[in-house]
Amino acid sequence: MTRNKYPDIIFIGQPNCGKSTLFNAIAGLKAETSNFPGTTVKHTHSRVNILGHILNIIDLPGLYSLAPGDEAEKVALSHLFYEKPDLIINVVDASSLGRNLELTLELIEMELPLVVALNMMDLAEKKGITIDVARLEKELGVPVVPTVAPHGRGLKELLERAVETLFHQVRPQPLTWSKDVEEAVNQLEKAIPLDFPVVANRRFTAIKMIEMGSQYFYQVLAEINLPLKKRLDEVKKYLEETHNVPAYEVVAAERHHLALKIFEKCAQVARSTKRPLLHRVDDLIMHPYLGYIVLILVFVGFFFIVFSIGSPLEEIILGPFERLRVLLFQRLGHGFWVYLIDGLLQGIGGGLGIVLPYFVPLLFMMALLEDIGYLARVGFLMDIFMHHLGLHGKSISPFILGFGCNVPAIVSTRILESRRDKIITTLLIPFIPCSARTTIILALVAFYLGPFWALGFYVFHLILIALLGRLLSVFFKEPSPGLILEIPDLKIPSLKNIARKTFFQLRSFINFAWPILIAGSIFLGILQSVGADGVINKILSPLVVKGLGLPQELGVTLIFGFLRKELSLIMMIQALGIDYQQLLTVITPAQIVIFTLFVSLFIPCVSTVAMIWKEVGRRIALISVALNLSVAIILSLAARIIFELIGGI
């Protein structure tokens, strides 16, 4: 067995087969679940004791096939190929068995010990699919255990068969394909020298060579073994000529047909004439007109719930922090350390009191919609609008996340297949008012100018995003590849799953954005304690006073805005040296609008910039900063000019 002393067991399955649920039932740990294909980017692992044996179990991202498409799949495959697991547990969705079997067949080709967990048996039954498990086991030549992951049904048997297969190292036999394809693979296999580095086994290596699409691979192969490369070319050419499609498709088609044949042998489908209730609900949700009314209602409700949970929580949590700060300055004066501690307090309080109260409910609601299967339908319904932004329907969920916090929103752009879509979405996300900016909009605009102004602010941001999306897509030659999105059946949500998902999403805020936020706060404390704010105000005064027509004292709050958006608010009040309620005595409503506009647009906060850097690279991060800065300056100048022309608000 492998280098470490415990055997490795890998869980593999197509997206949405219930793999994470099954894995977690065994591991008792948290992992990501999602209805958008391909989001389980991180893999989770755990050391567990199964029937007296200690094993490493590893959950890989969902894969459709062993030919990588997106990044997540590449990650999963390199793990599978190079870490050589001791056992594979292939989780299969019994309710779409035909398609899932294609991956199973490919795994069998690897000839590693394999057990199939035939999951979602309850759904299959509901759909009228009866599966002859014994027959399936015989056809595939590997153990097949029916399971229902959320109820733990079949889990015990699965583990027993897994341990048995693992310790006897039972290896499956690949199933044979059509004669001519089999022949072609065979010939190539013979041409592979004995000392050639193989993946899994020689036949599998030969197949992968045929399927490989990379030009780079062929160049390397030509250099290290020219005769083999020539042989490969011949075999591919033969397959292409006889089948009239690219060689890799010949291979994929073999698996597809074999899978369908096995499916037909082992499963019976009784189509019921009665449409289930959920289907009728679906007719309404997906309706070309009514669907949009439902969509609007759902999202009004969505944000209503998020805010009605968030705003009382914010007050409850921020109150004690404020009192603590006041106490701090009263007791300890205004020394360097006091500012430092104050920065720390504010950083912790800002995360706890401003972001989390809104963000947690938002994530929870998102996970709920996703688990029901509604989010995919939102992607479908919104596709047409997203086209106006030069994107397609899948970008909608990063956008919604952005209203909570931009940082996880940027992480979630990984679900997009094309780099072009990923970049455009990433550049647009910082224009979405996150919960910190919503706080500013509510506190300044809604409080002083009324709720309609605040609503207007939101609408304005959305229009701006649409315009910028159009503008950005001009810079990309190729159009968006377009939407291909699986629409899963609607289902009753599982609370456990939603909680797990919420927690997982939250981690990227807690582990990444929050520490940066705290560091930023402490840095600000230091700036204040050494009196750097005066200097900064002077430097920024041409922009702040001449350009935007704001009091000079507000200059420093802009820097604060980069470190933490919502701090701009606190600092603004502090910088002007007055009580929140008396703001209008020193600053006009028009100035409030200009200030809010500028602060909310001018730069993504530092955590967001860092995340963009990490996800799509430095160049895009810099472009993002430049884009936000220029948009903010242009729009706030424009706002000032308009206000001056019409003589204020």
Partner 1 sequence: MSRYRYFPLISAPPERKLRIVEVLGGHGLRKRLFDLGFHKGDEIILDARGLLRGPILVRSVSSDTVVAIGRGIAQKIMVEIISDEE
Ligand X SMILES: Nc1nc2c(ncn2[C@@H]2O[C@H](COP(=O)(O)OP(=O)(O)O)[C@@H](O)[C@H]2O)c(=O)[nH]1
Rounded to whole angstroms, how far apart are CA atoms 518 and 497? 30
How far CA 484 is from CA of 1, 37, 393, in Å, comes to: 41, 10, 9
- 253 near partner 1 (CB under 8 A): yes
Q: Which does 406 bind (CB under 5 to 8 A by kind): partner 1, ligand X, none?
A: none
Degrees, nearest 5: CA angle 203-204-209: 100
> Which residue, 310 or 469, is less far from partner 1 as judged by CB?
469
> Which residue, 327 or 487, is less far from partner 1 as judged by CB?
487
Q: Which does 351 bind (CB under 5 to 8 A by kind): ligand X, partner 1, none?
A: none
Interactions with partner 1, residue window 577-616 (CB under 8 A): none
- 352 near partner 1 (CB under 8 A): no
The alpha carbon of residue 449 and the mean position of all alpha carbons in its chain are separated, in whole angstroms, by 37
Q: Which stretch binds partner 1 (CB under 8 A): 144-152, 283-291, 353-361, 524-532?
A: 283-291
Q: Which does 487 bind (CB under 5 to 8 A by kind): partner 1, ligand X, none?
A: partner 1
- 296 near partner 1 (CB under 8 A): no
How far CA 609 is from CA of 344, 419, 439, in Å, comes to: 21, 18, 20
> Which residue, 30 or 325, is less far from ligand X as judged by CB?
30
Q: Which stretch binds partner 1 (CB under 8 A): 26-34, 374-382, 404-412, 496-504?
A: 374-382
Q: Which does 69 bind (CB under 5 to 8 A by kind): partner 1, ligand X, none?
A: partner 1
Q: Which does 19 bind (CB under 5 to 8 A by kind): ligand X, partner 1, none?
A: ligand X
Q: Which does 64 bind (CB under 5 to 8 A by kind): ligand X, partner 1, none?
A: partner 1
Binding mask 430-469 for partner 1 (x = CB under 8 A): ----------------------------------------
Residue with the two structure tokens 């990923």? 422
Closest of 24, 9, 136, 149 to residue 83, by C-alpha: 9
Sheet containing strand 53-59, edge to edge, reads 44-50, 53-59, 8-13, 87-93, 114-119, 144-146
Rounded to whole angstroms, how far apart are CA atoms 461 and 603? 14
Alpha-carbon radius of gyration of the chain: 29
Given a contact cutoff of 8 angstroms between Cβ atoms, the answer to whether 149 and 18 are in contact is yes
- 97 near partner 1 (CB under 8 A): yes
- 312 near partner 1 (CB under 8 A): no
Rounded to whole angstroms, how far apart are CA atoms 3 and 307? 52
Tokens describing residue 318: 């921020």
Given a contact cutoff of 8 angstroms between Cβ atoms, the answer to whether 80 and 12 are in contact is yes
Degrees, nearest 5: CA angle 402-403-409: 15
Q: Which amino acid is at 44?
A: T
- 40 near partner 1 (CB under 8 A): no
Enclosing H/E stretch for 267: strand 267-269
Given a contact cutoff of 8 angstroms between Cβ atoms, the answer to whether 363 and 502 are in contact is yes
HSE at residue 646, side-chain half, CA atoms within 13 A, is 8
- 99 near partner 1 (CB under 8 A): yes
Q: Which does 508 bind (CB under 5 to 8 A by kind): partner 1, ligand X, none?
A: none
- 96 near partner 1 (CB under 8 A): yes
The DSSP call for residue 276 is P
Binding mask 65-84 for partner 1 (x = CB under 8 A): x-x-x---------------
> Which residue, 229 or 500, is less far from ligand X as judged by CB?
500
> Which residue, 109 or 342, is less far from partner 1 as judged by CB?
109
List 256, 325, 496, 507, residue binding partner 1 (CB under 8 A) = 256
Tokens describing residue 393: 């329907």
Residue 469: partners with Cβ closer than 8 Å, 6 or more residues away: 388, 389, 390, 391, 424, 428
- 64 near partner 1 (CB under 8 A): yes
Residue 473: partners with Cβ closer than 8 Å, 6 or more residues away: 389, 390, 391, 424, 479, 480
For the CB of residue 123, give the shortest distance to ligand X in the complex, in Å: 5
- What does DSSP say about strands 8-13 and 87-93: parallel, antiparallel, or unpaired? parallel
Q: Which residues bind ligand X (CB under 6 A)?
A: 13, 15-21, 33-34, 40, 62, 119-120, 122-123, 148-150, 371, 494, 497
Q: Which stretch binds partner 1 (CB under 8 A): 225-233, 435-443, 482-490, 629-637?
A: 482-490
Q: Which stretch binds partner 1 (CB under 8 A): 249-257, 447-455, 566-574, 629-637?
A: 249-257
- 265 near partner 1 (CB under 8 A): no
For the CB of residue 498, give the shortest distance to ligand X in the complex, in Å: 8
User: Which chain residues interact with partner 1 by CB under 8 A?
Assistant: 64-65, 67, 69, 95-99, 102, 127, 213, 245-246, 249, 252-253, 256, 260, 263, 269, 283, 286-288, 376, 379-381, 383-384, 392-393, 417, 479, 481-487
